[in-house]
């Protein structure tokens, strides 16, 4: 929270404003356009695309859920992203507590290792994971997606949570110890309640990453039964041409929950994202 404006960075307020407006248009236009187009008939769209909506129809949305069964990928995504997030939060909280609060040899190495894994190119492990899941008959199953998702979700969770636990003053737990609390009591009665907002933020971040994941979902599913939302949308096919109306309707549906979450938790997400990433 800063209330004072930075003195001196007042270069050309006018040009600044104009550039900012332009950037905002660039940022928001694709959403606007997708929304408008998803409510326009294909015929009208291809005849003469117009920036302003003519007559709105909901046909594409109806088709999405009646003809395409878009419910299935949404359910798949919710299950896979939700399970991964919850599992990572549970396991990650323990690890983050240790990394933030317990002194032991090798901690710095573990942090370095976890950071390195977050930068892992996913493609490097597609082949063994495919072979592994195939031999376990897990291709095209939920566990067959949840397990690979841990590769990026777990390091992310641990990293972000460690950063936020470190920001909770340590003397609160020390005060609890002096007051007679055991380590477990100070964890459950002091740290955990205070970490709830961070856990929520981390959960949202992890969920978003899982919800958006594409490469693994594309590699380890076979058909519409287990496809997640991004895969389903990317593989939408029409009989004669690209069914843009439905694709855009699906895009709006897939984006809306994430966008809503981001708007509501904006401040916390920014904190979580940048926690630990940048130090003075």
Partner 1 sequence: MRKVSRLGHEARLGWSLVAPALSVIALIAIFPLGWTFWESLHLHELRMPWLGKPFVGLANYIEIAKDPRFWAALGHTAFFTVVSISLELMIGLFLALAMNRVFRGRGFVRAAVLVPWAIPTVVAALLWRFIFESQGGIANALLVKAGFLQEPMVWFIQTSTAWVPVILADVWKTTPFVALLLLAGLQNIDLTLYEAAAVDGANAWWQLRHITLPLLKPAILVTLIFRTLDGFRVFDLIYVLTGGGPGTSTEPVALYTFNALLQNLRFGYGSALSVVIFAITFGLALFYVRGLGVRLGGDES
Partner 2 sequence: MARIALEHVDKIYPNGYVAARDLSLEASDGELLVLVGPSGSGKSTVLRLMAGLERVSDGVIRIGERDVTDLPPQQRDIAMVFQNYALYPHMTVRDNLGFGLSIRKQAPAVIAERVNAIAASLGLEALLDRKPAQLSGGQRQRVALGRAIVREPLAFLFDEPLSNLDAQLRVETRVELARLHRKLGATMVYVTHDQSEALTLGDRIAVLKEGILQQIATPMELYNHPANKFVAGFIGSPAMNFIEGVIQRTEGAAGRMGMCTFKGIDLTLDVPCDGESHGRVFLGVRPQHIEVSGDGENRPKGEVGVVEPMGNEQIVYVTLSGGDRLVAVAPPQEMIRPGDIVSIRVRPEGVHIFDGETGSRIEPSPYAIER
Site for partner 2 in 207-246 (CB under 8 A): none
- CA distances 71 to 38, 132, 141, 227, Å, are 18, 29, 17, 11
In Å, how far from its chain's centre is CA 164?
18
Nearest distance from residue 201's CB to partner 2, in Å?
17
Place of tokens 């979450």: 261
Pick from 8, 106, 121, 193: which binds partner 2 (CB under 8 A)?
193
Please identify, using beta-carbon distances, which residue of 154 and 176 lies nearer to partner 2.
Answer: 176
Please identify, using beta-carbon distances, which residue of 172 and 234 lies nearer to partner 1.
Answer: 234
Contact between 94 and partner 2 per CB under 8 A: no
Pick from 129, 147, 153, 176: which binds partner 2 (CB under 8 A)?
176
Which segment (182-190, 246-254, 260-268, 269-277) binds partner 2 by CB under 8 A?
182-190
Task: Determine the Cα–Cα distance for residues 3 and 160; give it in Å rounded to an integer.
Answer: 27
Sign of CA dihedral 74, 76, 79, 80: negative
Q: Residues 131-170 vs partner 2: string with x where CB under 8 A?
A: --------------------------------------x-
Residues in binding contact with partner 2, number by CB under 8 A: 18
Contact between 115 and partner 2 per CB under 8 A: no
Pick from 22, 175, 234, 277: which binds partner 2 (CB under 8 A)?
175
Task: Determine the Cα–Cα distance for residues 243 and 125; give it in Å rounded to an integer.
Answer: 33
58 contact choice in partner 2, partner 1, none (CB below 5 to 8 Å, kind-dependent): none
Helix extents (H) in the chain: 13-38, 42-47, 59-66, 71-101, 107-118, 126-135, 143-166, 170-178, 183-185, 192-212, 215-220, 229-234, 244-264, 266-274
Which segment (8-16, 131-139, 184-192, 229-237) binds partner 2 by CB under 8 A?
184-192
Nearest distance from residue 269's CB to partner 1, in Å?
7
Residue 199 CB coordination number (10 Å): 20
6 contact choice in partner 2, partner 1, none (CB below 5 to 8 Å, kind-dependent): partner 1
Helix extents (H) in 221-265: 229-234, 244-264
Please identify, using beta-carbon distances, which residue of 92 and 203 lies nearer to partner 1.
Answer: 92
Which segment (1-9, 12-20, 188-196, 225-233) binds partner 2 by CB under 8 A?
188-196
Contact between 172 and partner 2 per CB under 8 A: yes
Sign of CA dihedral 40, 46, 47, 52: positive
176 contact choice in partner 2, partner 1, none (CB below 5 to 8 Å, kind-dependent): partner 2
Residue closest to 126 by CA, chosen among 24, 218, 222, 30: 218
174 contact choice in partner 1, partner 2, none (CB below 5 to 8 Å, kind-dependent): partner 2
Task: Determine the Cα–Cα distance for residues 160 and 261; give it in Å rounded to an integer.
Answer: 18
Residue closest to 217 by CA, chosen among 82, 87, 73, 85: 73
Which residues are at the interface with partner 2 (CB under 8 A)? 169, 171-172, 174-183, 185, 189-190, 193-194
């Amino acid at each position: 929270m800063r209330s004072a404006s930075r003195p001196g960075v007042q270069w050309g307020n006018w040009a600044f404003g104009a550039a900012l407006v332009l950037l905002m248009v660039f940022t928001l236009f694709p959403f606007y356009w997708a929304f408008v187009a998803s409510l326009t008939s294909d015929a009208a769209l291809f005849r003469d695309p117009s920036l302003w909506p003519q007559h709105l129809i909901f046909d594409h949305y109806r088709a999405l859920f009646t003809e395409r069964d878009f419910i299935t990928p949404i359910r798949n995504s919710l299950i896979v992203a939700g399970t991964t997030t919850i599992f990572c939060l549970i396991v990650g909280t323990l690890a983050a507590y240790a990394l933030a609060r317990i002194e032991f040899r090798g901690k710095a190495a573990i942090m370095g290792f976890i950071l390195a894994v977050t930068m892992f190119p996913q493609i490097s492990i597609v082949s063994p994971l495919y072979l592994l899941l195939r031999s376990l008959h897990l291709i095209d199953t939920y566990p067959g997606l949840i397990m690979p998702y841990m590769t990026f979700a777990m390091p992310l969770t641990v990293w972000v949570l460690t950063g936020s636990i470190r920001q909770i003053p340590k003397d609160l737990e020390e005060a609890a110890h002096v007051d007679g609390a055991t380590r477990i009591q100070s964890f459950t009665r002091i740290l955990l309640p205070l970490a709830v907002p961070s856990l929520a933020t981390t959960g949202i971040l992890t969920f978003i990453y899982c919800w958006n994941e594409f490469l693994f979902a594309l590699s380890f599913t076979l058909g519409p039964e287990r496809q997640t939302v991004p895969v389903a949308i990317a593989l939408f096919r029409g009989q004669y041409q690209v069914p843009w109306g439905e694709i855009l309707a699906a895009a709006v549906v897939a984006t809306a929950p994430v966008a809503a979450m981001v708007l509501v938790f904006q401040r916390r997400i920014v904190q979580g994202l940048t926690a630990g990433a940048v130090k003075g």
